[in-house]
Structure 1
Amino acid sequence: MAVSSLTRGSSRRFSLPNLLTYGRVAAVPVVVGCLFWPEVAAARWAALAIFILAGISDFLDGYLARALAQQSSLGRMLDPIADKLLVSAVLLMLAADHTIAGVSLWAAIVILCREILVSGLREFLAELKVSVPVSRVAKWKTFLQLVALGFLIAGPASAPVITTIGLGLLWVSAILTFYTGGDYFIAGVKHLLAEDEKV
């Protein structure tokens, strides 16, 4: 029975949805490496291609996990981590090469701060065995972030208008990011106050 349980655990770790998530994590240093040479158009396009594949895998892994009944605790843990690593790393690289500059840096700061806040709140709520389901708005937020970053990666290698569109989408995603972060914050505060009342 122990061997059977070990086999099932191993198969879940290497299920197709989890493999897609692992691939998204592995894509992060590759995209960052390509963006180290912002003036090289080929490197920029390579970064965009890998980023798009990683973005597609973000939507595929959850769908396949449900469709194939291969949901796992590991997948639920790694999926948001992979998303945050990818978005945060690309934001930092785009800020470093001044694709995101000036007042638009505030949009990037809002997104990064929200990701840190939500990570902390998720850890706190997990200790209380409380889960906050991902809302439809949060899914749109993630989609817009990925699209905005895709435009910003491509911008310097194509046309200035592409960068402008990317910055506009970045601001829209930052607003949605702020809004969805508020949902997590309210949930966290509510449960924190409930815990204090028990003491």
Structure 2
Amino acid sequence: MTSLPNILTLGRVALAPLVAALIIAGWPAAAVSLFILAALLDLLDGKIARAMKTESASGAALDPIADKILVALVLLALGGSGMLQTWHLIPAGMILLRDILISGVREYAAKAGVSLAVTGLAKWKTTAEFVALALLIVSPIDGGGALYMGGLAALWLAGALSAYTGAQYLLSMRKAG
């Protein structure tokens, strides 16, 4: 766990509650800055692990968990601060439901000796989540105008991709045994 990529991944985990606290405190510029830093760390940790040939099972397991922690805490902070209301809680719920469900499916698959690779569409889902959350975090700066609407559109896209990729993983697991 002491390799540079794993340290970067743990850094994302440490940043998540800080981002959420800054959202709740009403400091969108600081919150989005730390959120973008966390997203960049997500890009870097895997690239560094591959370049340094330090890929590990613990890193592969921790990386998606770090993403889920960041996304979940930001969604909760946005909901708690009133930025996500009524119907917009549906895609947020789909994202959280899929992440929890797939974590369990991956654990079950691992115990059964089945590897469930991350799909390209699942990577797009994560990208849509990060774009949505960054736009929503920073949207108070423009008074909830275009940034907020763009963030909501990306959130609904991420919710739809969550439902679809979640179903894909479940079907893959079913086929595997």
TM-score category of the 2 structures, normalised to the smaller one: over 0.9
1:48-127 maps to which residues of 2 (within 5 A)?
48-127=32-111
Larger Rg: 1
Is the partner of 2:14 in helix, strand or coil? helix
Instruction: Provide the residue aligned with 2:6 in structure 1.
Output: 18
Shift of 1:19: 1.2
Number of equivalenced pairs: 176
1:7 is matched with none
Tell me the distance in 2 between the aligned counterparts of 1:120 and 1:134.
15
- In structure 2, how many angstroms separate the alpha carbons of the residues matched to 1:83 and 1:27? 11
Residue 180 of structure 1 aligns to which amino acid in structure 2?
Answer: T
Flag as ranges the 4+ runs of structure 1 deviating above 4 A. none
Query: C-alpha displacement at 1:189, in angstroms?
Result: 2.4
- TM score, norm. by length of structure 1: 0.85
Give the alignment of 1:146-185 within 5 angstroms. 146-159=130-143, 160-185=145-170
Q: Percent identity?
A: 43
CA distance in 1, matches of 2:44, 2:130: 14
Greater relative contact order structure (CA < 8 Å, 6+ sep): 2
Residue 4 of structure 1 is matched in structure 2 by: none
Structure 1, unaligned runs of 5 or more: 1-12, 195-199
* Shift of residue 157, structure 1, vs aligned partner: 2.4
Cα RMSD of the aligned pairs, angstroms, is 1.1
Unmatched runs of 5 consecutive residues or more in structure 2? none
Separation of aligned partners in 1, 2:161 and 2:49: 26
| 1:36 aligned counterpart, secondary structure | helix
Alpha-carbon distance in 2 for matches of 1:162, 1:184: 32
Deviations along 1:106-165, whole A, 9 cap, x unmatched?
111111100111011011101011111111111111011001100000001224211111
Aligned match of 2:15: 27
Return the alpha-carbon distance in structure 2 between the equivalents of residues 29 and 80 of structure 1.
Answer: 17
In the TM superposition, residue 17 of structure 1 has moved relative to its aligned partner by 0.8
TM-score, normalised on structure 2? 0.95
The structural deviation recorded for 1:102 is 1.9
Which amino acid in the other structure matches residue 167 of structure 2?
G
